[in-house]
Structure 1
Amino acid sequence: MTLRLPLQVNHLIDLLSGSGHEAYAVGCCVRDRLVDLIPAEWEVCTDASLAQAASCIQNELHIEPKQEPNSLMLVVDGVSLRVTTATFRQESSSSNPKPDLSDRGLTVNAIAYHPVKGLVNEFHGLEDLEGKLIRGIGDPDIYFRRNPFNMLQTLRFSALSSCRMDRSVASSIHRLAPMLSGIPAERASVDFCRILMCSNAAGTIRNYFDVASALIPSLAAPLEREANLPALVARSLEHCPPDLTVRLALLLLPIERQKGAVTGALAKQAALDFALDSLTAGYIEQLCGAYDTFIPTSPTKMKKMIAQYGKPLFQRLILFKKALIYSGQGSKVDSILSLHRSNLLLGDILRNNQCCTLRELAVGQEDLTAEGLSPEDAKRILPQLLEQVWAQDSLNTREKLLPLAKRLAR
């Protein structure tokens, strides 16, 4: 089997080999390439010490790699490379020493590749990839206890590739999920958000909601109250396109609903506690807070609401409401028919680029003051002009709005 590696990876392997060392691409990057995914970084394992590898890289590439625990990191022409050390052993059936991959935890991670020497597949990871199966090498608990982040990375690969966990791996993740509550939220949120953006995010949340509640403790209470919660959240994700903000709002909404009145404040706090940025947390608050808000089906009222939320967030609100109603969790104020009408109306507004906000008006405060209006009158009249344009979009020209502004100022 031949794999196409980036030129930078081939060059690094050649560089180390030319200095008398063994070197292979290894681990998750090889696994991802085998299933047509794009690796975030490329790992090259070598029998050289890190000091020897660093010296070789500095002498030949004139790059000083970043020293990290047990590895070197460097970026060459936009490609992230990680150099790790490995034990190589000589097998009687082969003249080429091969890396020992027994500590890679999962069979699909225990695959190495050399552009000339080919694939190292001692633990049959290639066959497991072809069979869409994730199996452990020995006891999966050892792999996940060694680094709890491995649980999130395994879930992400499963969600991306649609590979299923075998019973021992799945049981290990369920058993050790509480360990995730002790890891830094800043890093956990990045990995978890990547899972939410995968094509099979819904299935992952349905089967591993205990992982989500370990990372976001405020999900534990609604889960205790409603045993069917994982299925409900998963169903809403199935009806939601890959928009991270909307998917996060769908996940965090149960925190709000268990308290009765839905304001969005609890969801926002949960988002901030999970180290999400304040802008995203604010959007989540607005989406959840609009749970019981009716989406208008008349142009003027919809444009007024768009002015309140802004076009990008209002589009997300439609997605949020649709996902909830199609999953059986919609508010009493919503119906499939009314949301369908709202969605068609929104499409017309966006397609025709109709004015919804003060920023989109054909005139601004400076234009009105240039016509002789006082700054106070200009500031007072602009919202009135906007309301006129909401009702009749063809008014949104300088030629029509300036005379109208003067009449309103009298």
Structure 2
Amino acid sequence: MLLPQDAKKLISLLRSCGYKAYAVGGCVRDFLMGTTPKDIDIATCALPEEMETVLKNTDIKYIETGIKHGTVTAIVNHTPYEITTFRSDGEYKDNRHPENVEFVKNIEDDLSRRDFTVNAMAYNDEEGLIDCFGGKEDLENRIIRCVGDPDTRFNEDALRIMRALRFSSVLGFDIEKRTAESIIKNRALLSNIAVERIYVELVKLLLGDNCEAVLLKYRDVIAEIIPELKPSFDCAQNSVWHIYDVYTHSVKSLAVSPKKDYIRLAMLLHDSGKPFVKKTDSNGIDHFKTHPAVSYDIAKKVLKRLRVSREIFDKVTLLVKIHDEHIYPDKRSIKMWLKVLGEDMTLDFIDVKIADMKTHNPDKVSDTCSTLRNIRTMCERIIADNEPYKLSQLKINGNDLLSLGYNGSEIKKELDYLLDKVIENEENNNREYLLSLAKNKTV
């Protein structure tokens, strides 16, 4: 494995002082998969104070980031490297943190406490790969498997349930049978985990290439986090426009949407209100009038509970609220949306509609999908050509209206009116013409 020179330097330094040291965990997994790891974590038999002595004697800066758990962060060429003493964990009482840790001398004991076999490997140049639990074979077979007993691992740290789903989604791995069964059985333990940590794992899961399979197979786990989605499970949509139940449609539309966290959250929640407004007519056809408004209320509740940022909250709720609105393949319609939403959100709105439509009945919506793609192209061209659709592009401004006798809220109202005139016909964006329109209203 081609470890970075600075990581090699730290490992060699510890070894030269008589301590065992290895690169461990996710970085080893990433190297074996042929990808560049974001971080290199190092494990050693040296105690924290022994690590500090080694680093101090070689003038390497360090921070005591987790001394209680045996972690010191060395800073080499402005890059942090976490170095942690081999340890075994004590009893877990909160399904998240061990009550205490015990430092041990063997890398095998340290690896045995880790979550999944693919993350329980170690490496250094002298000894090569240390793989006590078949992690390399599971990597080759694309399998997520707990180290040891799955129930024990998930009861120790329930966040591992979400990590397993996230790895399956991001890496495209299957979850081994016993591990999968334990995930379902222990899903209620997620209630003991901080929502902020769950949200981080959920978003990574939603952005994975294999998210559709994971969200469908482990929907009961998702319902532990977002119980508001449970009514959509198996909620039929008997209509010529649909071929999937509400939840399946939502997941499939999510999977074909752009990889933006707020868009994928919006797709997950965009039809959550349908089960609550479902009406079946005398012909057995289902209707879901007003579902965007109900979905909007559900999305607000879910996102507040997950404590998302204000930016994410605003974007997701807006997209859920307007996902069923119409946009037409003409410049006026597109520019009106650009005026209201701005450039980025208008493109996002169109992307949401495309993803939503692509997972309707393909026999009924192929023309609509094609039209929406054309609308997106038109929108991009309007933006690129700087065609007017916002107040700053008008040939007159508020000062001009002020000089004509407008004041206060009248100015904004008149500018909006004039912008609508320009959106109707770009040639109207002429200073003399706009001033004449405004003057006529003051006469």
**Structure 1 equivalent of residue 261 of structure 2:** 244
**Structure 1 equivalent of residue 192 of structure 2:** 182
Structure 1 residues 74-153: aligned runs within 5 Å: 74=73, 76=75, 77=77, 79-86=79-86, 99-100=108-109, 101-153=111-163
Deviation at 1:375, TM superposition (A): 4.2
Aligned equivalents of 2:271 and 2:9: distance in 1?
51
| Aligned residue identity for 1:20 | G
Assess if the C-alpha contact under 8 Å between 1:136 and 1:169 holds in 2: yes
**Structure 2 equivalent of residue 405 of structure 1:** 435
Aligned equivalents of 1:69 and 1:229: distance in 2?
48
Query: Are 1:61 and 2:60 matched, yes or no?
Result: yes
For 1:176-200, what per-residue CA distance to the aligned partner results, in whole angstroms no more than 9, with x for missing partners?
1221122111111112111111222
For normalisation by structure 1, the TM-score amounts to: 0.86
1:352 to 370, 385, 390: 385
The range that moved more, 306-315 or 71-80, is 71-80
Segments of 5+ residues of structure 1 without an aligned counterpart are: 89-96
**Structure 1 equivalent of residue 369 of structure 2:** 336
Assess if the C-alpha contact under 8 Å between 1:73 and 1:80 holds in 2: no
| Aligned residue identity for 2:144 | I
For 1:216-275, what per-residue CA distance to the aligned partner results, in whole angstroms no more than 9, with x for missing partners?
222233337569555323311232121211110111123222232222122122111111
SS in 2 for 1:303: helix
Aligned equivalents of 1:166 and 1:228: distance in 2?
27
The range that moved more, 292-301 or 35-44, is 35-44
| Aligned residue identity for 2:415 | L
Query: Are 1:315 and 2:347 matched, yes or no?
Result: yes
Deviation at 1:11, TM superposition (A): 2.7
SS in 1 for 2:31: helix
Aligned equivalents of 1:78 and 1:179: distance in 2?
39
Structure 1 residues 117-266: aligned runs within 5 Å: 117-223=127-233, 225=235, 228-260=245-277, 261=290, 262-263=292-293, 264-266=296-298
1:43 to 24, 41, 44: 41
1:386 to 419, 423, 441: 419
Aligned equivalents of 1:336 and 1:87: distance in 2?
56
Assess if the C-alpha contact under 8 Å between 2:48 and 2:72 holds in 1: no
Aligned equivalents of 1:327 and 1:173: distance in 2?
29
From the superposition, tell whether residues 191 and 356 of structure 1 become closer, same or farther in structure 2 (CA, over 3 Å): same
From the superposition, tell whether residues 362 and 184 of structure 1 become closer, same or farther in structure 2 (CA, over 3 Å): farther
Assess if the C-alpha contact under 8 Å between 1:110 and 1:125 holds in 2: yes
Aligned equivalents of 1:391 and 1:40: distance in 2?
51
Deviation at 1:386, TM superposition (A): 1.2
From the superposition, tell whether residues 336 and 294 of structure 1 become closer, same or farther in structure 2 (CA, over 3 Å): same
Aligned equivalents of 1:58 and 1:339: distance in 2?
62
Aligned equivalents of 2:112 and 2:256: distance in 1?
41
SS in 2 for 1:64: strand
**Structure 2 equivalent of residue 14 of structure 1:** 12
For normalisation by structure 2, the TM-score amounts to: 0.80
Assess if the C-alpha contact under 8 Å between 1:365 and 1:378 holds in 2: yes
Aligned equivalents of 1:405 and 1:340: distance in 2?
38
CA RMSD of aligned residues (A): 2.9
**Structure 1 equivalent of residue 394 of structure 2:** 361
Assess if the C-alpha contact under 8 Å between 2:246 and 2:274 holds in 1: no
| Aligned residue identity for 1:347 | E
SS in 2 for 1:254: coil
From the superposition, tell whether residues 17 and 362 of structure 1 become closer, same or farther in structure 2 (CA, over 3 Å): farther
Aligned equivalents of 1:383 and 1:230: distance in 2?
40
Assess if the C-alpha contact under 8 Å between 1:373 and 1:406 holds in 2: no
Aligned equivalents of 1:304 and 1:118: distance in 2?
62
Segments of 5+ residues of structure 2 without an aligned counterpart are: 89-105, 237-243, 278-289
Aligned equivalents of 2:87 and 2:392: distance in 1?
63
SS in 2 for 1:192: helix
| Aligned residue identity for 2:309 | D
